[in-house]
Structure 1
Amino acid sequence: ICGIQHLERAGNRLTLFDSLYFCIVTFSTVGFGDVTPKIWPSKLLVVIMICVALVVLPIQFEQLAYLWMERQKSGGNYSRYRAQTEKHVVLCVSSLKIDLLMDFLNEFYAHPRLQDYYVVILCPTEMDAQVRRVLQIPMWSQRVIYLQGSALKDQDLLRAKMDDAEACFILSSRCEVDRTAADHQTILRAWAVKDFAPNCPLYVQILKPENKFHIKFADHVVCEEEFKYAMLALNCICPATSTLITLLVHTSRGHTAPWEAFRQLTGTKQPLNRESQQSPEQWQKMYGRCSGNEVYHINLEESTFFAEYEGKSFTYASFHAHKKFGVCLIGVRKEDNKNILLNPGPRYIMSSTDICFYINITKEENSAFKKQEKHRKNHESKLSYHGASRLPVHSIIASMGTVAIDLQDTGCRGPSGATLALPAEGSKEGRRPSIAPVLEVADSSSLHACDLLSDQSEDETTPSDEEVSAGVEYAKGYPPYSPYIGSSPTFCHLLHEKVPFCCLRLDKGCQHNYYEDAKAYGFKNKLIIVAAETAGNGLYNFIVPLRAYYRPKKELNPIVLLLDNPPDMHFLDAICWFPMVYYMVGSIDNLDDLLRCGVTFAANMVVVDKESTMSAEEDYMADAKTIVNVQTLFRLFSSLSIITELTHPANMRFMQFRAKDCYSLALSKLEKKEREKGSNLAFMFRLPFAAGRVFSISMLDTLLYQ
């Protein structure tokens, strides 16, 4: 405006109002023509201004329109008409991070039946820049609606149309320094939603196990610490258990376009995993292909996999379905029951109305079957079996149901009846099968002899000379003291009398013993060391799987808790009944503490993420201290198996870091290629993750979303 007025002093001598009038008429493309520039500098300025306006003004108008729309959404309402005609779910969070949002959207929309659902996000804070950029993408802008509000206000729940929602997801903020306060906020949100919309299904994530009983009314509850410590404990017993679970609950995105189109057309969630199929490494091809396994369910009477096993035991159905079709039956659910029975054993008889849960590359509806002639009758007659097995039937199938395991002689024989005899060396029947035959229906003698609550091996029924000389005897039962309300009782190895609290301290002698380090105890088995900041109730869930009744007594590993802060009396009262469980106050930063707790005699070292480091100015720096400490342990004790928990899965690439290792560099390139293809688990080929040496609980958030 001022430029036109200044230049036209040599021409029309326009006033300020005339210059304003000229600019508005010109840039609005009306162009009356009653005011025009007379000299060439004015004309050149108008040309330049029109060119700039053609580029800048549309962008500015678009941003203004988007901001206005987002303001309307944040302070507006979700349409009642849309809520009644379209399906939607509500996501309640205290703060929305980009990682959490993308994990939720990718997993929620992975199922073809959920493609038409809307997601309404109810959050008390404003969107940050990253979330705003993601929600501007057309794929998400048409499905996701962001409302700024609180779940504790009925007005905001009404704006989100919570009473018409198909489900409500309430997630905790794990990056809070005070995780108990974060749980309290989650509990209040769950109560508010249940009070406002009692018929809306609730899916709640809680952090502390002692707070879980407050939300027992929710349809599904996932307790982070309870699940986390159980996974870390199982990693010590069966390496890479956490990797198996993570791959089962994640949807792979490493597909080429034709395979993605096939997935959409067939409606299957994951027909075939294409990750690392171009890799020269055989283990990567096998690992990438089998990572496509997921859990599916089907009614038994409608199933080709399991229909023939109606009236048979669960163990028989699981064994033969895997042998015949390669599928893994892991659990069942009765028609009139919401609870899923995982590996219920030989006592459970399959019914036609049962819902079968199985692991496979794809669901049965998308599988192709090739009929073969039944020519194995003669072979089956050779393997006919009569009488009780020398093995407990429930021990033949592994707890996950994937592999049939031939355990050593358990001595679980019936008092009478035939037993399997080993074939002669020159027999024509070939070598003895490595898996004992599985009965269709377990008879009473075998069930009585192999009772789940009885001793499972000869070495347990009769105490050894070492145990007699040491005066140590274990009982089996339920722990008499629970650290928190709502913990499920588990049958465990226990002491007949609880250990005095002074004897639980590993690094200090007392009037009962004078040992001051792990070496002085002279343990027969290698130790399991847990490095944690505090002795929270979640650690109880680490000890229980390692002292479960089904583990032979001679295989129990001593457990040492290396704590930064001394435990309270309630925690000591809970662990004093378990055999060979000790604690000491120290840190993994201190080499003397590590040597005193027996790091040189340890089989596994579990490093738990510290709550005080979960929040940092830069989000991904929250794991910095843990990673450097673990790298120090890796350098000093190269033979030690270290299992680490991280806050952010993206930091897995720094575990066991070798800057100039050619193989690590090749895996880094492979990870980048998988990320470019769209894989949600691009780090899955990193050796620490594949071996189960690193774990992040945030990877299992998808368990709640699915």
Structure 2
Amino acid sequence: MVDLESEVPPLPPRYRFRDLLLGDQGWQNDDRVQVEFYMNENTFKERLKLFFIKNQRSSLRIRLFNFSLKLLSCLLYIIRVLLENPSQGNEWSHIFWVNRSLPLWGLQVSVALISLFETILLGYLSYKGNIWEQILRIPFILEIINAVPFIISIFWPSLRNLFVPVFLNCWLAKHALENMINDLHRAIQRTQSAMFNQVLILISTLLCLIFTCICGIQHLERIGKKLNLFDSLYFCIVTFSTVGFGDVTPETWSSKLFVVAMICVALVVLPIQFEQLAYLWMERQKSGGNYSRHRAQTEKHVVLCVSSLKIDLLMDFLNEFYAHPRLQDYYVVILCPTEMDVQVRRVLQIPMWSQRVIYLQGSALKDQDLLRAKMDDAEACFILSSRCEVDRTSSDHQTILRAWAVKDFAPNCPLYVQILKPENKFHIKFADHVVCEEEFKYAMLALNCICPATSTLITLLVHTSRGQEGQQSPEQWQKMYGRCSGNEVYHIVLEESTFFAEYEGKSFTYASFHAHKKFGVCLIGVRREDNKNILLNPGPRYIMNSTDICFYINITKEENSAFKNQDQQRKSNVSRSFYHGPSRLPVHSIIASMGTVAIDLQDTSCRSASGPTLSLPTEGSKEIRRPSIAPVLEVADTSSIQTCDLLSDQSEDETTPDEEMSSNLEYAKGYPPYSPYIGSSPTFCHLLHEKVPFCCLRLDKSCQHNYYEDAKAYGFKNKLIIVAAETAGNGLYNFIVPLRAYYRPKKELNPIVLLLDNPFSHKISATDHCS
């Protein structure tokens, strides 16, 4: 082994990778050998095949030249017919012999020689071992019929006036045109639709049938009426389009037989072409065709990518998308790999949607389908997951692949992605906006446990409604609920707002209170001009600036609101001194101000003898009643801030020393030591000092650490929060952490019980510190 290693010469000390690529001039006595690749393509046959067949551009030139030769031969035949003397006799010899001038014969011989040589050469290059397959091809037979007689006439001059059916070259021209279109698509690297190719084939077939019929009838009638080409054209058009008028008819039996044969050929060939065209048309209707580049550059459109399109998902998307006034002129191009079902097809035939929604059957994983949808010119792309998927992980994998494909094809197109499981968000971090269904669902359920009906409030705010639902219901609460469902979240710059412009330099609490008192709108948050984060209810410490963007809840946005003068309102305020039943309450303002302003109508026990009326409190009762809200100041001072802090910490201070000592021994504030998935936001929350053993997590089974077998034996002081789920996924992290947030009082921490169908996973046990 040592001898073998010593035989290998060492590399020079300064031998670099560049020397390996470019060669080292210092090594003159090496044994390196130059290797040539693709030697099989250096043969004469391979070079010819590369020029005539494989190379797209040269092959396209050859096809175009061949097509021009066939058209030239047909043109020469027409010239020969027009130069004939119509005063000849009616002998049968005129069928086999024609008058052909020497220059015309020379041109036809030249065309025949070139055509035959090219046909034989292409047959040789495409030869695969079966010679009869090459000879018995119809294009080769037609080439022999039209070219060989002219070549024989070179050596036999008496045959120069022999009739040759050169007009049959129109079928060879049709064949060359089809090959030329295919080479053209390869050369420009752009494929036309199959519908375009089939229509082209149908038109060329029809033209060839008509041209063959015209020339055949004209030649066979040389022994009869001696019809010219125009009369033959008139007869063919009338015969093929109608039953014929009878003013121009063939006389000889040969021409009549030829007409019958052409009609039979047309009855066989044309229905086949039309059937293929109808089939492609039906398939085009299913697949949706293409979204044209001209429309994509002159109109605005978005692309919706889904794995399977259901009617509820489609209608939810369309209703929410077109709810915004600025999106009324946008087109929605749906890209779906499955065929439309009956319900979706019926909806898309409605004029309101058929003029704005385009359905394309295709996959977002294919560049060809993305090109059909003109993804690179789209204003945005929405990738939605199926709601009813059993395997949610597999559905997310498909969504991730679609997002990757779209981002790779159109990197400048804004991407909106819906994902199902939170651990998969990491793979689509590049998307502009990502909505995780499971993460959002569990977070709202946790907020419901803290503040009931939070999910209902958020759902109504994010869904578009005009507040007209339930107005025909006899139940008053349904009318109130339907009208208040029209509240939505809007934003406006403070200095441009009529609602909030006067509160510049005031505290957020003051602006929120007085804006609701004056206009009935609910200010819920602000955002600084140079910051992307939205501050929800920042409190009295926050001072409003002119460039702040205000987020508020109202029936409609300020731009679409009209403001009445105070004199006009006083006339209507006379009838508002008494509220006759619940129908007179300003319900939209009540719902809009939820959690911000306390309603000053608490004494509902006073009823008049006439009916259930609710009167406003008198001046005397105002002095006796305890104020329902604390005073709201324009700018928060130190005392008010301390008062707010004391009020906020009141629940913590109410604990007894024994309870405080026991809670301090049990809980500590901090971040969870483990994250269940990449991308989860760390939250400061209440933690246990020590991790609970996995065996102790079973509530219904005892272990070596405790002997409890039901919830009652544990003696929990607070009520249980029971979560019924199929499996304990990573999304439960977003349910547990908000219920253990640091700002929640320790005595209000409710025990969380997971009621699962499948066994508990060790992955979720990473959050046991929060339990």
The alignment's TM-score, normalised by the length of structure 1, stands at 0.60
What secondary structure is seen at the aligned counterpart in 1 of 2:506?
Answer: coil
Query: Does residue 1:480 correspond to 2:709, yes or no?
Result: no
Indicate the residue corresponding to 2:342 in structure 1. 129
| Structure 1 residue 512, shift from structure 2 partner | 2.7
| CA pair 428-133 structure 1, distance change in 2 beyond 3 A | closer
Find the partner of 2:385 among 172, 192, 200: 172
Deviations 1:610-631 (A, max 9, x none): xxxxxxxxxxxxxxxxxxxxxx
Structure 2 residue 436 is matched with structure 1 residue 223: yes
**Do residues 241 (structure 1) and 241 (structure 2) align?**
no
Q: Against the structure 1 CA distance between its residues 331 and 463, is the aligned structure 2 distance closer, same or farther, given a 3 Å change threshold? A: same
Match status 1:345 vs 2:539:
yes
Match of 1:182 in 2: 395
Contact 1:231/1:241 (8 A) holds in 2: yes
Alignment pair present for 1:538 and 2:731: yes
Correspondence for 2:635 among 438, 441, 452: 441
CA–CA distance in 1 between the matches of 2:664 and 2:546?
Answer: 52
Structure 1 position 551, deviation (Å):
2.3
**Aligned to 2:417, what secondary structure does the other structure show?**
strand
1:104 aligns with 2:104: no
Q: Which residue of 1 aligns with 2:38?
A: none
CA shift, 1:78, in A, is 1.0
Q: For the residues of structure 2 that align with 1:428 and 1:562, how far apart are their CA atoms?
A: 51
Structure 1 counterpart SS, 2:386: coil
Matching residue of 1:403: 595
Please tell me whether residue 328 in structure 1 is matched to residue 541 in structure 2.
no
1:152 corresponds to: 365
C-alpha separation between the residues in 1 aligned to 2:398 and 2:340? 20
CA contact 2:489–2:551 (8 Å) conserved in 1: yes
Please give the alpha-carbon distance, in whole angstroms, between the structure 2 residues aligned to 1:439 and 1:132. 59
Aligned to 2:130: none
Identity of aligned residues (%): 87
The amino acid that maps onto 1:476 is K
- Which residue of 404, 416, 435 corresponds with 1:203? 416
After superposition, give the CA deviation of every residue in 1:103-129 in whole Å (9 maximum; x if it has no partner). Answer: 111211122221111111111222222
The equivalent of 1:313 in structure 2 is 507
Is 1:513 matched with 2:710?
no
CA deviation map 1:573-609 (0-9, x unaligned):
21x112xx4xxxxxxxxxxxxxxxxxxxxxxxxxxxx
Q: CA deviation at 1:469?
A: 5.8
The answer to whether the 8 Å contact 2:554/2:592 transfers is no
Which position in structure 2 is the counterpart of 1:552? Answer: 745
Q: Label 1:470 to 1:275 Cα distance change in 2 as closer, same or farther (>3 A).
A: closer
Q: Which amino acid aligns with 1:525?
A: N
CA distance in 1, matches of 2:375, 2:330: 14
Counterpart Cα distance in 2 of 1:515 and 1:151: 54
Q: Deviations over 1:662-702 (max 9, x none)?
A: xxxxxxxxxxxxxxxxxxxxxxxxxxxxxxxxxxxxxxxxx
Aligned residue type for 1:205: Q
Give the Cα–Cα distance (whole angstroms) in 1 for the partners of residues 524 and 706 of structure 2.
46
Residues 343 and 400 of structure 1 are in contact (CA less than 8 Å); yes or no, is this contact kept in structure 2?
Answer: no
Residue aligning to 1:4:
none
Partner residue, 1:675? none
Give, as a single letter, the amino acid of the residue that structure 2 aligns with 1:312. K
- Separation in 2 of the partners of 1:438 and 1:540? 38
State the Cα distance separating 1:511 from its structure 2 match: 3.0
SS of 1:335's equivalent in the other structure is coil
1:95 aligned partner, one-letter code: S
- 1:577 and 2:577 matched: no
> Given the superposition, is the C-alpha separation of residues 478 and 461 from structure 1 closer, same or farther in structure 2, using an over 3 Å criterion?
farther
**Residue 285 (str. 1) matches residue 479 (str. 2):** yes
1:166-197 deviations in Å (ceiling 9; x for gaps): 11000112322221121111112112212222
CA distance in 2, matches of 1:30, 1:106: 52
One-letter code aligned to 2:766: D
> Could you say which residue in structure 1 is the equivalent of 2:717?
524
Question: Tell me, what secondary structure is at the counterpart of 1:514?
Answer: coil
State the Cα deviation string for residues 11-64 of structure 1 (Å, max 9, x = none). xxxxxxxxxxxxxxxxx9968799xxxxxxxxxxxxxxxxxxxxxxxxxx9xx9
Report the secondary structure of 2:763's partner residue.
Answer: helix
Q: Distance in 2 between matches of 1:82 and 1:434?
A: 60
Is residue 504–residue 544 contact of structure 2 (8 Å, CA) maintained in 1? yes
* Whole-angstrom CA distance in 2 between matches of 1:428 and 1:434: 11
Q: Name the amino acid aligned to 2:769.
A: W
Separation in structure 1 between the aligned mates of residue 429 and residue 297 of structure 2, nearest angstrom: 29
Cα 1:444/1:188, change in 2 over 3 Å: farther
Contact 1:460 1:552 in 2 (8 A): no
- Which amino acid in structure 1 is aligned with residue 634 of structure 2? E
In structure 2, the gaps of 5 or more residues are: 1-239, 247-273, 568-589, 600-618
- C-alpha spacing 1:510/1:212, structure 2 compared with 1 (3 Å): same
Q: SS where residue 569 of structure 1 aligns?
A: coil
Q: Distance in 1 between matches of 2:689 and 2:507?
A: 36
Structure 1 gaps, min length 5 = 1-27, 35-60, 253-269, 374-397, 408-424, 582-706
1:25 maps to which residue?
Answer: none
Scaled by the length of structure 2, the TM-score of the pair is 0.56
Q: 2:628 matched to 1:431?
A: no
Q: Do the aligned partners of 2:513 and 2:597 also contact (CA within 8 Å) in 1?
A: no
SS at match of 1:182: helix
Aligned pair in 2 of structure 1 residues 349, 557: CA closer, same or farther (>3 Å)? same
Q: Is the 1:122–1:160 Cα contact (8 Å) retained in structure 2?
A: yes
1:357-395 Cα deviation digits (max 9, x unpaired): 21111111222223449xxxxxxxxxxxxxxxxxxxxxx
User: 2:516, 2:593 within 8 Å by CA — same for their partners in 1?
Assistant: no
Number of the residue aligned with 2:150? none
Higher helix residue share:
2
Shift of 1:530: 0.9
Structure with the bigger RCO (C-alpha within 8 Å, sep 6+) is: 1
Cα gap change, 1:369 to 1:405, in 2 (>3 Å):
closer
Structure having the higher Rg:
2
**Counterparts of 1:237 and 1:68 in 2: how far apart (Å)?**
58
Q: CA deviation at 1:304?
A: 1.0
Deviations 1:45-91 (A, max 9, x none): xxxxxxxxxxxxxxxx9xx9899377168263211111111100000
- Give the Å deviation of 1:458: 5.1
2-side partners of 1:233 and 1:66: how far apart? 55
Residues 460 and 553 in structure 1, CA contact (< 8 A), matched pair in contact too: no
Moved more, 473-482 or 219-228: 473-482
Moved more, 503-512 or 443-452: 443-452
Matched residue, 2:697: 504
C-alpha separation in 2, matches of 1:161 and 1:129: 26
State the secondary structure of the residue aligned to 1:175: coil
